[in-house]
Structures are given as C-alpha cells and as structure tokens.
Structure 1
Amino acid sequence: MNSKEIFDKYIKTRIWAKNYDEGVPPEVQVNPSPLFSYLDRQVAENGGRAAYIYFNNKISFKTVGEHSDRVASALKEWGLGKGDVVAIYMPNTPAFPIVYYGALKIGAVVTPMNPLYTPREVAWQAKDAGAHVIFAADVLYKNVEEAAKMYQFDRVVVVEVAEYMPAFIKPLAKMRLKPPKIQYGGRVIPYRDLLGYSPTSYRATINPTEDLAALMYTGGTTGLPKGAEITHGNISANLQQLKPLYDAVKRKRGLEGLVMMGLLPWYHIYGQVTVMHYGIFDGATVVVMPRPDVEQLMKWVQKYNVHVLHGVPTLYNMIINHPKAREFNLRSLAFCISGAAPLPGEVAKKFEELTGATLREGYGLTETAVVTHVNPLYGKAKIGSIGLPIPSTYAAIADPEKPELLPPNQVGELVISGPQVFRGYHNRPEENAQAFFECCGLRWFRTGDMAYMDEEGYFYIVDRKKDMIKYKGYSVFSREVEEVLYQHPCVKEAAVIGVPHPEAGEIPKAFIVLREECKGKITAEDIIKWTEDKLAHYKRPRAVEFRDDLPKSAVGKILKRELKAQELAKLQAAQQKA
C-alpha cells in the first residue's frame, strides 16, 4: 500500500472514531478565539463562581478578570503591546493565570520558565525569547537578580507566593518559605503595586491562527531548548477538542461543573492547557498546589471533592505506594489522565482499585499544545496504548526518513496533523524544515516518537527515536522492558537506557528503585533472571543498578538523559584510568 491508499483507508476515515465514548464526535466545529475571550465570558456569566481555591481561600472569576485587567493596564502603560514577550517565573499560584491573561489582553506573548531554572537558564531563555518583563516569585528573586547581570529586563515584577492566601496563613507561609529581603525601586516592582492600577477594558485585536499566545520551551533533551511558537488558535482548538471528553465525564457522573486539581506545573504545557486554560474555558474550579505533596493532594481531593486529576505515572505510583493512601476518601475522583511518560499497566490497575476513578493514558507534546491522543474513558481502553486521536486530529505512522505513511502494525515515527499543532520553532528554520512534511494534502509534524497503530486505530509508543537501544543490530524499546520490570512485585520505579558496549554496540541497562520491604533481599541477578521468560534474549537487561531514587523533571518525568550522562561520564573516567 502506498501513502495515499493508507491515508484513504485508515486516516481520512478516522478508523479510530468508532471506538470513541458515546457523545464524542470525530470532528468538532473548532472556532479559534483569543484566549482572553474565555475569561471575559466567565466573568460575565459566572463572575461569583470560584475560579481557584488556594489554601482554602476562594478567588472568584470576577477577581481573576479584574486583577488581570489591572496587570494589563500596567503593562500597557509601560509601553508593551502586541508581540512583546512577558516571562513568568513562578510556581502555581492564582497570580500565574492572572499575569498570563493580563499579558494576553494587550496582545503580548507569554514565555513561562521552570521554577527550577538557574540564573543562567533564566537569562538564556529571556534572551532567546526577547522578554521585556519578568514576573518572578519572591522566593526565586535572587536567581532573577543574578540573571539580570547577564540579560537586562526592562522591569522585574516580584510576586509573593503567599499572595492570594488567607490573611491568617500569610505570615506562617512567609516564615516557612523565607523569601529574601528585596530592595524595591527602579526596575524592581512589587506585584501589589500593579493591583493599584485602574482596570483596563482594552483588548488587542488578535488573529487566533497567526498571533502567538506563548513561547513554550521544550525540555532540550539534546542541545539547547527550543521555543515552540504556540498561537491563541492552537490552545483554543485543543480546549474545544477536549471539551467532549470532559462533557462525557459530567454526563456519566451527573456533574454540572468540575473541580480540578492544579498540581501539574503551569509553566509546563501539559498542566497549563489541560488545567489552567481549561478551567477558565469551561468555568471549572481549580484547587491550586504550588508544589507537589502527595499527602496534601489526597487531603484536598477529599476536602474539595475533586473530580479531575491530571498527572504523570510517577505521581500515580506515589499515591498507590503512600502509607496513608487508604486513610483518605478519594472516591470523588472521576477522570484521571496520565501523560508525559508511559503509564505501567500495574500502576493503572492499582490506582483504579484504590480510588474507583477512571485512569487513562494519554499523549501530547509541547508542539501540539497539548493533547493529541487519549484512551476512551468508558469504552475500550487498551493497556500500553496512548489511545485514540482526539476529535479533529489526524495521526499516522510515517517512515522516519521519508515523507511516506506506513500501514497498521508497522513501527515508524508518530506524526500529527491538526489545529493544535504549533506554528514552528522560534528562530529555528533548519529544525522547522526537519520537523514538518507534506503528504496527502496535509502538513504533518514529526513527533520524534517511534510508534505503531493497530487495526482499530489505537496507537502505541514504543520509544523515543533517540531512546531506542541497538543491541547487536536488534532494536530494543526501553518502554517494553520497563513494562515488564514494573510487573515485578519488588519494583517501585524503573528506567531502561542503552549503555555503549564494545561488542554489542549498546546493552540495555535498568535502573530500579525497590520497594522498602525488598531492599537488601533481592539482587540484580534475580531481576535479570526474572525477565528470562518474559522478554526475548536480546531485550533483557544486561545490567541492573539499584537506586534510592531516579532523577526527575519538575513534572515528575524520569530523566533518562541524566542517567545516560552519568553512565557516559563513568565510561569516560574508566577509559582515562585505563
């Protein structure tokens, strides 16, 4: 079959749509809109409803709208306007969306920064994005002060993490957080000053399909991070594509509105779109968590009857292994999605048994702002699959080197076409040329993930292109090995990478965190032997290393690149000694 035949038979017909949940259409009528229009609508229609709950303090949509109007007024007075870049460098607080939407109202572009960034990284992203103003959490101010020696901001606005907390909690929070003493004046301004500005009714004229809302920087697994140019239309489309899925949950549970957990960091596209933006789009109440704390999470799920939880596999793994997990009533949870990394089947099974919630694996990328796939919530979900393309999304498997589509059950590169696909990488023309190709009348984005599609339209990620292990010429996909390791009763966490080997090319090496009760009672040889009847000989780990923990990103994704860097450093050191 050639590309056109494959496209016509499987992709154009959306072979996967027959497995959608009831009420979820193959196509939604996407109406790209400026993102701030959704906040304006909530202020007009649901102004008194709680948009956020922050340490028991309820902040209404009316307050969010008014405060973002005041921020917009300040930015406009400072001379910022359409296309100017505003950086946000803070954890999740109600101030994050207020600043974000205030910037959008004047047509500015937001570039969020990881709160774990060092001063050098802050300066680098600010320079690459061309940021004029940075809104920084008070606890991170010293990093901005150092970054300002490398990159000159027009203004630095300092936001107290305790802002929007109840009055009686603020002093306690400040004692615990210990923010530095800040000398205000000149370019350095307290956020509270902006709330003294008169709210503006000004709204920039936005072409949603062309004008940027955000410059989102990718993780930079190789080389320097790249800024993904995300338009208002990209995010707006994805919110509209996701709505039928959230509506299916509402119908199933008889819910008029949703309460969502705001744990995933909003500087990251996953939490930003599925929780921060979606909450505003659909009028949901979001319980805001500025830092991950599993016990606090479970307390608040019980206290606020949270319906929706978005997370990563390590979060769900931490919940089921938490010693107090069964002390909390988590039965209000209805809809839980795992993304950013493969979800082990055993983790999903135990989480659903614990909570009674539906936990499904989904998939998305920074470049697709954000969701492209998810398993049916109440229909046929397949363990190990990222699920089905969401409405108004085309997905296919392509030859990694050629602009050609591949038939079902053949491994190739996952490619996406849809209204949520980003405009391109910021100032990276060569990388844009490699990232996109034309086929069958559509523009496709290469995800970098090796995958296949089955006959029913379910997609399966087998590995990142760069994570595929070549053992004696055989292709070994680390995800498959990890799935097997997670089935071992003593394995709490696992990551598999390829380690250079003089004869084999690469060998699969597993890094494992054992459950407490197994530590000191099981050996690396025991683990390897256990895999013998579960994996072909070339797929089995050739080495196992036990760790107390594994390196993780701010969203909880295991960082294999750090494990690889550590292994390469060891090899280089050994070679130098020899």
Structure 2
Amino acid sequence: MQRPHYKFWPKRLPHSMTPPATSLWDNLAISARRYPDKSAIVFFGTRYSYAQVMQQAERLAARLFELGVRRGDRVVLCMQNCPQLLVAHFAILRANAVVVPVNPMNRAEELKHYITDPDAKVAITTGDLAPELAKASDALPAGAGLQHLVVTQFTDAFDAQVTGVNALPPAWHDWLLTRHPLPPLAGGRALAWSEALQAAQAAPALDVGPDDLAVLPYTSGTTGLPKGCMHMHSSLMHNAVASAAWGNATAENVTLLAVPMFHITGMVSVMHSSIYSGATLVMMPRWDRDLAGRLISAWKVTTWTNIPTMVIDLLGSPDFDKYDLSSLVHIGGGGAAMPQAVAQRLFEQFGLRYVEGYGLTETAAPSHSNPPDAPKQQCLGIPFMSTDARVVDPDTLREMPVGGQGEIIIRGPEVFKGYWKRPDATAAAFVEFEGRSFFRSGDLGYMDEEGYFFLTDRLKRMINASGFKVWPAEVEALMFRHPAIQEACVISARDSYRGETVKAVVVLRAAYRGKVSEAELVAWCRDNMAVYKVPRIVEFVDALPKSGSGKVMWRSLQEAENQGGRDGGG
C-alpha cells in the first residue's frame, strides 16, 4: 500500500515498535524500583509515591487471592477516578486476574449484566456506588451474584481538611467527604478498603504474561447488551508504550488525569502510559474547569489528554486569566472533533498544537493519531505505530481511492482478540483483506493525499454526546421496561454544548396516554440508566414508521430530526 503519511512521521520514531514481553504489572513494579520515592499520584494535594502504590496493590492482590480470586478470574472495578482505582486495577493484574472496568454512572439494572456476563464474583467500588452494585447483585438468581464487595471511601485517599489550590469544589463536599456504611450483600459480604489492605499472606506468584487476558472493557453496539472486548496484556502494553513514545514522554512528565480511567483512553493512553514512563499523575475524580485550572497552575502540568469540551469549558471560565498554562507542552485528545477556532486560540495564545487521535475500545484507544509536529485540525490523524489502516467499500471491501468515502478498517497489535462469549459478533467484526485479518471500525471516513484520515459518518447507529458513546439499542431496551412504553426509538438531536444529545420517540400504551409526561419518563430513565444515556428530549407519537418487514425505520426519524429538530440545549 501507499504510505504517504510517512513523510510526516516524527523523525525521532520508528514506524513500528517491539513492546516489552511482560505483563502490565511489571510496568508498575519497574517504575517503583526505579523511582520509589517519586510521586506516582497527586490527589487533592496528597502524594502517593511509586513504592506506596506498589505496596498497596500487592496487599490488595493478596487479599483478592484470599477471597478466592484465581488466574483468569474477572473482577469488576467500578469507581470514579481516585488513587484506589489505580491501586485496584494493578492489584487485579497482580493477582493474575482480569479487570472488568465499569462506568460508575451505570445503575443497578445495567450493572446486572456486568456481573453475570463476565461471571464476576468480586467487585471493587466506592462507598457511594456500593449500594447500587449490591442492589444489582441481590436481584440476581441465587449463586449468580457477587460473593465479595470491596468498598473504599474517597477520604481513604486524601485529607478532608485540604485547602488552597488543592481544595475540593464546594459542590463536591457531600459526594467526596461522606463516609457510607457498608451495604448488606445477599449471599456474600462487603469488606472495607482498610481491612482489604491487611491481608495475612503474600500475593500469589505472578504467572501471567503478554498473551494472557488482562482487561475486559465493555462496549455497546447496534443490538443487544454490551459486549466484553478481550484485551491481552500485549495489546494494552503496545499502546501504553507507543503513546509514551508518540508524546515524547519522560519520567519528568506531570500529567493531568481528568478523563475517566474506566474508559479505554484514560486507562491506556494516560494511566498505563504514565505508569510505564514513571510520570506523575495529577488526578481529578471528575471534571471541574476551575479545579483543573488551579491544578495545572500549581503542579506545573506538562501534558493533558482530554475531550474537546473540557478545553472549551476551561477557556470559558470567568477565572481563566488567573490560571498559568505555560507549563503545558503537550495537549490532545479525541472522542469528538476540536472546533477549529478553539484549536487556533490554543496555538496563538499558548503555542500549543492540539493533537487529535482516534480509536475504539476494540483498539485499546489510539489506532490513529496526529503527528505532534504536524497535526491537522478536525482530523483523526495517521495510522498509529505498528498499525495498518485502510478505507474500503463496506459492501465490496474494495479499497477506496484518495478522498473516497468508505469504512475504516484497522490491523495492528493493539486490536482486541474478540468479544467475550460472542463468536458470532467476533466473526462479524473482522474481515480478510489482502490475506490478513482487519477489524471493521464501523466508521466511515476518507484518506487525503497526504495519508491523513478523516471521519465523515457512521455505519453503526451511535450518538456521540460530549465524547460519551450512546448506543440507541441499549437505551431502547432499558426504556421498554417502563410499563407505559409500548414502543421507543432513540435518535440523536442537535445540542449546542454536547454536540449531540439523546432523543426518544415514544409510543405509549393506550391505558397510559395522557397520563405520563415527558418529565416523568426522563426522571424514570435517570433512575434506571447512566445519566449520559438518559434522553434529554421525549417526543410522544401515535405510531413509529415501519418497513414492510415490521422493523422500525429509525433512519427516517433521524433524517426528519436533522432537517427540523429542536436544539437539546446546553
């Protein structure tokens, strides 16, 4: 194939790389030996050295072994960003087990699937989320739920009296400072974090390597429940090491960790890459623009991976002039296109070129990235290190010419092994091209004459709300559980802040017509699904358009919305 993008390849880097043939745990162990006293994490002013992080992870791994976790077992990890998430992630790997990262915004009805599908018997979470996990587990048939729930409190990790630049935003006080009682767990028991770290025996021998399953993140799709993506130590290792090289990382990096670590980008491109490099992670539990501005200024943050809405939000702060962003040398991200005007302001005011990338859960974050020295705006970038990507006709699989729109297909060491327990979905996700297996992204795009890739549309039915992927089929399946809903079709609506937002077109059962309001349905959805999936708009109709075979014609509803729909607001 032609590789015109090699002309723009960073001259300091090879086109492909050989990642370490070790487990992901070894990255933490090696950094802890090299930099034992160096800060691995800063959380509201509290520092955790590499030695401390490793010691806590080893103690928790020993406890997991005592609780019956064995090689290859899946352990649910459900929490917002905090030092305990990183410790627990590496502890699960140290116990030779598999991390199942779960979005903490999920509610009990959704959480059931993340317990039963991976056959998880142990989960690790925070006190605010523990009741929801217990509720999900308790609702399952006998023997199908959790046996152990390890629960930490946010204040296990920082000084509740912290003031100054590291102070909590006032709106977070109740959330972060409340210490929650351990919930009862039918058929098992909950265990406090402090007790979990006091294991009586040592961790088991480390006997996993690059070819063992490491992480099972879930992704949704056009039909059915979310599917687990099987990532070996090797696929995450490749992108962690490659991301460090691509971003010119050193152990002196100070990285703002504002994107969630339960998501593949925060997990691989930020957390794993930084631990491999021996960098310092300045951690935020979730986004707050003024806290981010204070942390960048106070801790001299050098690199920041984000979603564009975070940058837009920070630049729009009334206090923005008080913040010192001069320490930043690398800024980039993905999930949505960075508006050209904002990218231009970053360059003119701070000399920063925003480096956009592209990837999926199935590709362990980046399969494409812009070269840091030659980025293009609103562009996916060029195929990442060791990666081959093409644009093909989705029906004939014929490679498209330069500028021709087609489906982006990807081959590389970062591509997952397949979907957990779903050989049918795995087979459909891969295609043979030029005698080799490529992953079908489901995204439509084109390649320009210089080898840069651009996104134009989606083959898959998906809504991108502020970088969060919302899969309509999953939202519809949850909405059908409401007794008033006869039919529902979920589409996207324009939103001035989120880019896209979720809209539900609903047919009510006859007995409920005129008795259930839009606000009542939205409130019910908030109680039963992650907040980013909740429809912001509900439209009642007498019937949904259907094809001759009886299928709902969602595309016609989407086209009608695109032509005349209201804006979903900010």
Give the C-alpha shift of residue 358 in structure 1.
2.6
Identify the residue that residue 343 of structure 1 maps to in structure 2.
Answer: 338
Pair 1:321-2:322 in alignment: no
Give the C-alpha shift of residue 222 in structure 1.
4.5
CA–CA distance in structure 2, aligned partners of residues 256 and 208 of structure 1? 24
Cα separation, partners in 2 of 1:175 and 1:366, compared to 1, 3 Å: closer
Identify the residue that residue 130 of structure 1 maps to in structure 2.
Answer: 119
Give the C-alpha shift of residue 162 in structure 1.
1.5
Which of 152, 157, 170 pairs up with 1:164? 157
Identify the residue that residue 533 of structure 1 maps to in structure 2.
Answer: none
Give the C-alpha shift of residue 319 in structure 1.
1.6
CA–CA distance in structure 2, aligned partners of residues 466 and 321 of structure 1? 33
Aligned amino acid, residue 318 of structure 2: P
Deviations 1:131-169 (A, max 9, x none): 110111011122122112124201011111112203644
Pair 1:180-2:203 in alignment: no
Which of 184, 194, 197 pairs up with 1:195? 197
Cα separation, partners in 2 of 1:383 and 1:107, compared to 1, 3 Å: same
Q: Give secondary structure in 2 for the equivalent of 1:129.
A: coil
Give the C-alpha shift of residue 509 in structure 1.
6.7
Identify the residue that residue 451 of structure 1 maps to in structure 2.
Answer: 445
Matches within 5 A, 1:418-497: 418-466=412-460
Deviates more, 1:81-90 or 1:183-192: 183-192
Identify the residue that residue 130 of structure 2 maps to in structure 1.
Answer: 141
Deviates more, 1:180-189 or 1:34-43: 180-189
Identify the residue that residue 410 of structure 1 maps to in structure 2.
Answer: 404
Contact 1:51–1:58 at 8 Å: present in 2 too?
yes
Deviates more, 1:362-371 or 1:337-346: 337-346
CA–CA distance in structure 1, aligned partners of residues 399 and 21 of structure 2? 29
Identity across the alignment (%): 30
Give the C-alpha shift of residue 120 in structure 1.
1.2
Contact 1:451–1:463 at 8 Å: present in 2 too?
yes
CA–CA distance in structure 1, aligned partners of residues 391 and 151 of structure 2? 46
Deviates more, 1:337-346 or 1:364-373: 337-346
Contact 1:119–1:143 at 8 Å: present in 2 too?
yes
Give the C-alpha shift of residue 408 in structure 1.
1.8
Cα separation, partners in 2 of 1:197 and 1:25, compared to 1, 3 Å: same
Deviates more, 1:326-335 or 1:281-290: 326-335
CA–CA distance in structure 2, aligned partners of residues 223 and 147 of structure 1? 19
Which of 5, 8, 15 pairs up with 1:19? 8
Identify the residue that residue 371 of structure 1 maps to in structure 2.
Answer: 366
Deviations 1:96-117 (A, max 9, x none): 1111111111210110111111
Identify the residue that residue 55 of structure 1 maps to in structure 2.
Answer: 44
Aligned amino acid, residue 213 of structure 2: L
CA–CA distance in structure 2, aligned partners of residues 81 and 509 of structure 1? 46
Aligned amino acid, residue 191 of structure 1: W
Which of 81, 90, 98 pairs up with 1:92? 81
Cα separation, partners in 2 of 1:337 and 1:199, compared to 1, 3 Å: farther
Matches within 5 A, 1:373-388: 373-379=368-374, 381-388=375-382
Contact 2:357–2:368 at 8 Å: present in 1 too?
yes
Contact 2:334–2:357 at 8 Å: present in 1 too?
yes
Contact 1:39–1:281 at 8 Å: present in 2 too?
yes
Give the C-alpha shift of residue 404 in structure 1.
3.2
Aligned amino acid, residue 310 of structure 1: T
The two structures, once aligned, show a CA RMSD in angstroms of 3.2
CA–CA distance in structure 2, aligned partners of residues 192 and 174 of structure 1? 22
CA–CA distance in structure 1, aligned partners of residues 27 and 434 of structure 2? 34
Aligned amino acid, residue 56 of structure 2: H
Deviations 1:229-277 (A, max 9, x none): 1111110011222232122xx5xxxx76100011111111111111111
Identify the residue that residue 271 of structure 1 maps to in structure 2.
Answer: 266
Give the C-alpha shift of residue 389 in structure 1.
1.1
CA–CA distance in structure 2, aligned partners of residues 416 and 574 of structure 1? 37
Deviations 1:198-239 (A, max 9, x none): 573534322413x11111011446532111111111100112
Contact 2:300–2:328 at 8 Å: present in 1 too?
yes
Q: Give secondary structure in 1 for the equivalent of 2:104.
A: coil
Identify the residue that residue 244 of structure 1 maps to in structure 2.
Answer: 245
CA–CA distance in structure 2, aligned partners of residues 302 and 271 of structure 1? 21
Aligned amino acid, residue 267 of structure 1: F
Identify the residue that residue 230 of structure 2 maps to in structure 1.
Answer: 229
Which of 67, 73, 88 pairs up with 2:62? 73
Q: Give secondary structure in 2 for the equivalent of 1:287.
A: strand
Contact 2:95–2:203 at 8 Å: present in 1 too?
no
Deviations 1:506-534 (A, max 9, x none): x99744359xxxxxxxxxxxxxxxxxxxx
Cα separation, partners in 2 of 1:241 and 1:98, compared to 1, 3 Å: same
Cα separation, partners in 2 of 1:206 and 1:326, compared to 1, 3 Å: same
Identify the residue that residue 117 of structure 1 maps to in structure 2.
Answer: 106
CA–CA distance in structure 2, aligned partners of residues 317 and 558 of structure 1? 21
Give the C-alpha shift of residue 90 in structure 1.
0.8
Q: Give secondary structure in 2 for the equivalent of 1:371.
A: strand
Give the C-alpha shift of residue 48 in structure 1.
0.8
CA–CA distance in structure 2, aligned partners of residues 244 and 508 of structure 1? 37
CA–CA distance in structure 2, aligned partners of residues 304 and 136 of structure 1? 28
TM-score (norm 1): 0.77
Contact 1:387–1:458 at 8 Å: present in 2 too?
yes
Deviations 1:376-413 (A, max 9, x none): 2122x222211111211111112212343222211000
CA–CA distance in structure 2, aligned partners of residues 510 and 37 of structure 1? 45
Cα separation, partners in 2 of 1:144 and 1:509, compared to 1, 3 Å: closer
Aligned amino acid, residue 223 of structure 1: G
CA–CA distance in structure 1, aligned partners of residues 291 and 42 of structure 2? 14
Q: Give secondary structure in 1 for the equivalent of 2:156.
A: coil
Cα separation, partners in 2 of 1:222 and 1:508, compared to 1, 3 Å: closer
Give the C-alpha shift of residue 374 in structure 1.
1.2
CA–CA distance in structure 1, aligned partners of residues 406 and 243 of structure 2? 27
Identify the residue that residue 309 of structure 1 maps to in structure 2.
Answer: 304
Q: Give secondary structure in 2 for the equivalent of 1:139.
A: coil
Give the C-alpha shift of residue 38 in structure 1.
0.6
Cα separation, partners in 2 of 1:106 and 1:125, compared to 1, 3 Å: same
Deviations 1:2-22 (A, max 9, x none): xxxxxx3x1xxx331220123
Give the C-alpha shift of residue 368 in structure 1.
0.3
Aligned amino acid, residue 326 of structure 1: D
Cα separation, partners in 2 of 1:467 and 1:175, compared to 1, 3 Å: closer
